[in-house]
Amino acid sequence: MKVLVAVKRVVDSGIKVRVKPDGIDLQGVKMTINPFCEIAVEEAVRLKEKKLIAEIVAVTIGPKQGAESLRHALALGADKAIHVTTEARIDQAVQPLDVANILAKLVERDNYNLVLMGKQSIDDDFNQTGQMLAGLLDWPQATFASNIQITDGIAQVIREIDGGLQTVKFKLPGVITCDLRLNQPRFASVPNIMKAKSKPLETIPLDKLGKLHNSIQITKTEAPAIRKGGAIVENVDVLLQKLRNEAKLF
Ligand code: AMP
């Protein structure tokens, strides 16, 4: 059984980004693998360790630096990688339907039995690509997975839903998007980082598989409002007086 794992390169979640009207300033900013995609890679590796799958292929769509995320996936345990290259901004111009279309082409070309993805990219927060891919392939899907069991070609997935958990099952092939509590990704060891450098990495220019439609235009980006500093008051009377006279709440 072959698994395709989609990994996106995003701004590191620990970075305080600078917001400009036309988007996040990416100049010199630390980038990393999208955390939910790292969880998807880890899950694929665990399934392979349980001998439930034979091959893990990691794929990214994006500029040449995206190869770093693929090498990270290879160091975690992926067997091969595919880099679909474009110089377009992945947080703006490479949109979910474009990504889903390209992944669908690769699934048709290479016959995967399962696609594992992050539930969401932390840069654009779309949470759409997995659902669109399942629609395009006419495959069943389980989103927000917090547990995945595969037995005799059937995937049983526990999904995190509002106020609880839902268990679903379907016959593979299918698409599963991974949530935070699915697993804790391992650290890539130095020998595995070295080994990853010699694992196969195929590069395909995006225009060989599809095109970018720019169906959504980002018209404006704004930073969140700056929070006013808090203050400690001496007692409840002072608090009430400040709420009445300064905050004018009553
Ligand atoms: P989104 O729908 O943008 O929130 O992304 C959901 C998931 O789709 C991500 O966690 C990735 O697994 C996959 N994905 C989105 N964009 C890309 C990309 N440029 N390259 C590879 N995978 C992607």
Q: What is the pLDDT of residues 93-121, one digit of tens each?
A: 999 999 999 999 999 999 999 999 999 99
- Whether residue 250 is contained in a domain is answered as no
Q: Encode pLDDT of 133-156 as tens digits.
A: 999 999 999 999 999 999 999 999
Among protein residues, the one with the nearest Cα to ligand 1's atom 6 is 120
> How confident is the model over 166-194, as a mean pLDDT?
97
Worst-scoring range by mean pLDDT, 29-33, 40-44, 215-219?
Answer: 215-219
Confidence class for position 26, pLDDT limits 50, 70, 90 = confident
230 pLDDT more than 90: no
- Whether residue 77 is contained in a domain is answered as yes
- Whether residue 61 is contained in a domain is answered as yes
Among protein residues, the one with the nearest Cα to ligand 1's atom 7 is 118
Question: Residues 221, 19: contact at Cβ < 8 Å?
Answer: yes
Looking at residue 22, its pLDDT comes to 83
Residues 144 and 164: their CA atoms lie apart, in Å, by 12
- Per the model's pLDDT, the better-predicted residue between 141 and 26 turns out to be 141
Q: Which domain holds residue 93?
A: 2-245
Q: What is the CATH number of the domain that holds 80?
A: 3.40.50.620
State in Å: Cα 169 to ligand 1 middle.
Answer: 23
- Whether residue 38 is contained in a domain is answered as yes
- Whether residue 99 is contained in a domain is answered as yes
228 pLDDT more than 80: no
Confidence class for position 16, pLDDT limits 50, 70, 90 = confident
- Per the model's pLDDT, the better-predicted residue between 209 and 24 turns out to be 209
Out of 13, 99, 143, 178, give the residue to mutate to test ligand 1, the one with the largest number of ligand atoms within 8 Å of its CB.
Answer: 99
DSSP state of 38: H
> How confident is the model over 146-172, as a mean pLDDT?
97
Confidence class for position 241, pLDDT limits 50, 70, 90 = very high
> How confident is the model over 224-230, as a mean pLDDT?
80
Written as one letter, the residue type at 50 is K
Dihedrals φ, ψ of 137, to 5°? -85, -10
Residue in 126, 118, 123, 113 with CA at minimum distance from that of residue 177: 118
- Whether residue 71 is contained in a domain is answered as yes
Q: What's the Cα-to-Cα distance from 201 to each of 79, 84, 172, rounded to whole Å?
A: 9, 10, 26
Domain count, the chain: 1
28 pLDDT more than 90: no
CB-ligand 1 contact for 116 (6 Å cutoff): no
Give the ligand 1 atom nearest the CA of 128: 2
CB-based contacts of 243, cutoff 8 Å, min separation 6: 249, 250
Worst-scoring range by mean pLDDT, 111-120, 197-206, 235-244?
Answer: 235-244
